[in-house]
Amino acid sequence: MTGTSSPDRDTAGRIRRRELLHLLDHSHDFALTLLLAPAGFGKSTLLQQWQRHRSDSRVAWLTLDAGDADPVRFFRRMGQTLRQTIPRFDTVSYNHLSAEIALPATAVAEALEQAFAAVEGDLYLLLDDFQHARHPLIQQVMALLLERLPAHVHFVIATRIHPDFSLSRLKLDDRLLLIDGHDLRLTAAQVMELGQQLGLELDQAQLEHLLTLTEGWMAGVKIALLAQARTGRQTLEDFSGRQPEVVDYFAHVVLRDLSAAMHDFVLCTAALEQFDAALCDAVLERDDSAGRLNSIMEQALFLQETGNRPGWYRYHPLFQDFLENRLRIEMPERLERLHVAAAEYLLRQEEMDMALAHARQCSPRAFLRVLRECCAWWLRKGDYPAIIRSLEPLPDEQIMEESDLLLPLVGALILSRRFNQARYYLDAINEQGPAREGRFSDDSTPTFLDTMLQVFQHDTDFRLQEHNAVLLSSCRHHDIRAFALAIIAYHYLLHADFAQARQYGLQAKVVLGQLGYDYLESYADLILILCDRNTGHIFPAIERAENFMERLRSRPNTPAWVNARIAVGIVRYEQNRLDDAQRLCEELIPLVNTSCATELIVAAYITLSRLLALKGEQTRATRLVEQLKRILQLGNYDRFVAQVACEELLQALMREKIQGTHKGEAIERIARQHQLPERLAAKTWVENRAYDEGWERYGLATALYLRSRNRLGEAEGVLVRLSASLRQSGVRSRVLIIDANLAVVRYLRENHSGAIELLQRLIEEHGLICINRIVFDEAPGLVDVMRLAQKQQSLVFPEIYLAVFEDVFMPAAPAAIAHPAPALSAALTGKEAEILEFLQQGLSNNEISQASGVALSTTKWHLKNIFAKLGVANRTAAILRAAQLPMQKPLH
């Protein structure tokens, strides 16, 4: 059981509502249990009690707040909550990059459906205060997900307002349990129990009077009883019980009974949406806030633990509104001072979003000062989405006047691949001149920003002149100089000038570290790791990655930490620690955003996709690749699309090997999508080239395609050309991959001596340690060459090496004895068998429709028939079932 967002204790004024707990026990029989009632009906308290009541069940709890109107934050927090209960839950459904590419609700819902289908045993997901999740995408995903939720997964949602999706289908299918305000009303016995907890004995007349006035509304009953406990019987007789008068009435009674110091404390803390004792101490300039908060909790004055952060509180919304109004009336002169003090304290605590929320309640001057500090901090930490989110609403004139806003915004837009918006501001700078105010009001700023835009927008198509690089790296503004060093190092890395990239990268790392720019320092680390890796210095690359991660271990979930974890994840994959690598990648994908280097975004998605494919989870693997393809549409990323082409072909070859088939339809489709036959016909790989990553990756993809078609001579010709070009450029890591594939092709051509000779040369040049899991997976069949060399005693591999890669070297198991089993396709039509094969390849419904040439509605109809014939309820189960049964010729 997980209670990530629910308090563990009952406080004064809470009663155990046994009949409702029993009703909630029936949520096991429903896809959705909906607690629908206005504030004050005790929904959250009831769920807390039920969670403890079901301590033997797997329950994941998430309390939402206003920030969960953002789909990225909502799905990330939901995934984190689920992973605390189910550590291997697939959380890669939605992140900042998904938002950038406008990933449709159907894709998100399908991914979540498959993740829930993989969960074994019953699971309850409790979403409290769901009224905050108002974004249309969240509502659409929930609607789609609830329609196809696996039977062992149950959603329990508490909300003040009706969800923005229809419940009709769920009602018709008897999959909805609705608990509304009528069900949540207090009974006479419960009112008596509540009164006794507060030291009151109600007579029958008082009880009937209170129930008549409040109609069992828990907040109203509790308010009246608390008021009577403080002031006597007459208070209850004068009580009206109407909303909102009931809250005002109670608050007046409560406030007039408080000491002057407590009265002041309660009113002033109402300026804070949520708070802990330290924040209260700082804002109110006192040191006894912890004791006062405990006193308020003991008196049941509608103070609630937030649940999301231990030790943090908020007032019940009904009481909060009243207190804020009283604060404006009684202490108007203190209101801004309270917000300023809160903003300053939260800035010191690096709670930038909360600080900015308070600053918005202050004067424009105070707001701008806090905004500058937030942007400076976000720039140092690499939180570019926060910069864009906070600055985009401001007028352009204000941004253009403030270099402390302009540089962070333009830099964030460039690194977020929003090049047209960045160009808009740069054109405005050229027309109006540089910003006059702020620490970046330097003549070098426009030149730097323009160069940065050229590097990232045009990628390898842009060439920086040497004299411009020297000029930028020696400008007098120390921050601009540090930024320029990192950008120049990256530029040289793109063009395989590893000596220059290392030189500038080392300088950038030192200066950025001194200035506190954690994220850009991590960028320099990545450049240095890639320089080492590309030039074949594997041990320095591993050591730098491990040190990188160790340095950032105390700063989890920051963009720099994400960069470091991805680098280490790839190292774990190379070392054949596949479970560790998969765990790291699965944890990181939800945190990947536009701040991350494109190289690492691609590496994270491809690595996790490949790891899933190796375990036979083809649907998830394909989904990741498809998402990556959409992400790469955001920029000029042909070289990364070429990596995707390679990966799709490698995984298609892997599937064929696992399934023992050589039909090649999937391989042919991938080759056509990436125009590999056309590239081959255009003689793209006839002559050597200077380093061109896209040319090399498409070349490898083409060689893999030719190999699958048994056109081995042509495949060898392409690989020989690639190898020669890469050797000239000094990209040793890619030489290793290409030559490993060349050895495999020679082996397949039965040139065994040539294959073994090339393998020996590879080991002499690179070292056996460099032939790691990545090489085995990107040169499928290399292990066969190594087995042959070992068998012929041409090479002897150390025992420790064979132990590390035992799963690779292990001979294929003999085919199992076939036992009679119902044929999978005996009952399927030809079209159904075809669609099932597409389903096994991980295609979405839309992609199946395109590949099979039928309408989407027809595809869905065929899938429904397939599910029925296989006796399953969803896609994942169909794929698993299909893997268990033999194929026969389908019916026609």
pLDDT in tens, 724-744: 999 999 999 999 999 999 999
- Using CA atoms, how far residue 693 sits from 548, 603, 729, in Å, is 26, 14, 11
The set of residues, in sequence order, having a beta carbon less than 8 Å from that of 10 and lying 6+ positions away, is: 49
Helices vs. strands in the chain: H and E counts, helices first: 49, 7
In this prediction, residue 662 carries a pLDDT of 64
Determine phi and psi for 166, rounding to 5 degrees.
Answer: -75, 140
Identify the CA nearest to 148 among candidates 178, 175, 179. Answer: 175
Q: Which residues of 748-775 are buried (b: 16+ CB within 10 A; e: fewer)?
A: beebeebbbebbeebbeebeeebbbbbb
In this prediction, residue 59 carries a pLDDT of 92
pTM reported for the whole predicted model: 0.76
d(CA 322, CA 313): 17
Contact at 8 Å (CB) between 460 and 692?
yes
d(CA 307, CA 288): 22
Identify the CA nearest to 860 among candidates 147, 35, 62. Answer: 147
In this prediction, residue 56 carries a pLDDT of 75
The set of residues, in sequence order, having a beta carbon less than 8 Å from that of 442 and lying 6+ positions away, is: 403, 434, 475, 476, 477, 480
Query: Tokens standing for 524?
Result: 């320099």
Identify the CA nearest to 308 among candidates 690, 636, 6, 635. Answer: 6
d(CA 338, CA 361): 10
- Using CA atoms, how far residue 559 sits from 103, 508, 793, in Å, is 22, 18, 49
d(CA 403, CA 410): 10
- Using CA atoms, how far residue 844 sits from 106, 550, 607, 847, 866, in Å, is 10, 40, 21, 5, 15
**Parallel, antiparallel, or unpaired for β 176-180 and 303-305?**
unpaired
Residue 523: how many other CB atoms lie within 10 Å: 29
Residue 886: how many other CB atoms lie within 10 Å: 13
Q: Tell me: the pLDDT tens digits for 360-391?
A: 999 999 999 999 999 999 999 999 999 999 99
d(CA 429, CA 436): 11
Report how far apart the first and last C-alpha atoms of the chain are (Å, whole number): 51
* Strand, helix or coil for residue 303: strand
Q: Tell me: the pLDDT tens digits for 149-181?
A: 999 999 999 999 999 888 888 888 889 999 998
* Strand, helix or coil for residue 828: coil
- Using CA atoms, how far residue 65 sits from 127, 134, 664, in Å, is 11, 11, 50
Residue 351: in which H helix or E strand, if any? none
Q: Tell me: the pLDDT tens digits for 190-238?
A: 888 888 887 888 888 888 878 887 778 887 787 777 767 766 655 566 5
Query: Tokens standing for 260?
Result: 């002057």
Residue 821: how many other CB atoms lie within 10 Å: 9
d(CA 738, CA 736): 6
Q: Tell me: the pLDDT tens digits for 754-796?
A: 999 999 999 999 999 899 999 999 999 999 999 999 999 999 9
The set of residues, in sequence order, having a beta carbon less than 8 Å from that of 891 and lying 6+ positions away, is: 825, 826, 827, 828, 829, 830
Residues in the chain: 892
In this prediction, residue 892 carries a pLDDT of 38
In this prediction, residue 773 carries a pLDDT of 95
Cis peptide leading into 244, omega within 30 of 0?
Answer: yes
Q: Tell me: the pLDDT tens digits for 491-526?
A: 999 999 999 999 999 999 999 999 999 999 999 999
Q: Which residues of 425-462 are buried (b: 16+ CB within 10 A; e: fewer)?
A: bbeebeeeebbeebebbbebbbbbbbbbbbbbbebbeb
In this prediction, residue 95 carries a pLDDT of 76
**Parallel, antiparallel, or unpaired for β 32-36 and 153-159?**
parallel
**Parallel, antiparallel, or unpaired for β 303-305 and 313-315?**
antiparallel
Determine phi and psi for 158, rounding to 5 degrees.
Answer: -110, 130
Task: Please give the sequence-ordered ranges of beta strands (E in DSSP) within 270-321, or none if there are none.
Answer: 303-305, 313-315
Mean pLDDT of 440-444: 83
Mean pLDDT of 698-717: 96
Identify the CA nearest to 624 among candidates 604, 643, 642. Answer: 604
% of the chain with per-residue pLDDT over 70: 89
Query: Tokens standing for 395?
Result: 């007028």
Residue 781: how many other CB atoms lie within 10 Å: 19
How does the average pLDDT of the chain come out, rounded?
86
The least confident of 371-380, 566-575, 663-672, 766-775 is 663-672
In this prediction, residue 796 carries a pLDDT of 92
In this prediction, residue 274 carries a pLDDT of 92
Residue 177: in which H helix or E strand, if any? strand 176-180
Q: Is the pLDDT of residue 884 over 80?
A: no
Rounded (10°) angle between helices 384-391 and 364-381: 160
Mean pLDDT of 403-407: 94
* Strand, helix or coil for residue 125: strand
What is the three-state SS of 534-564? HCCCHHHHHHHHHHHHHHCCCCCCCHHHHHH
Query: Tokens standing for 835?
Result: 């669609």
Determine phi and psi for 60, rounding to 5 degrees.
Answer: -110, 130
Confidence of residue 860 (pLDDT cuts 50, 70, 90): confident
Confidence of residue 816 (pLDDT cuts 50, 70, 90): very low
Determine phi and psi for 463, rounding to 5 degrees.
Answer: -125, 125
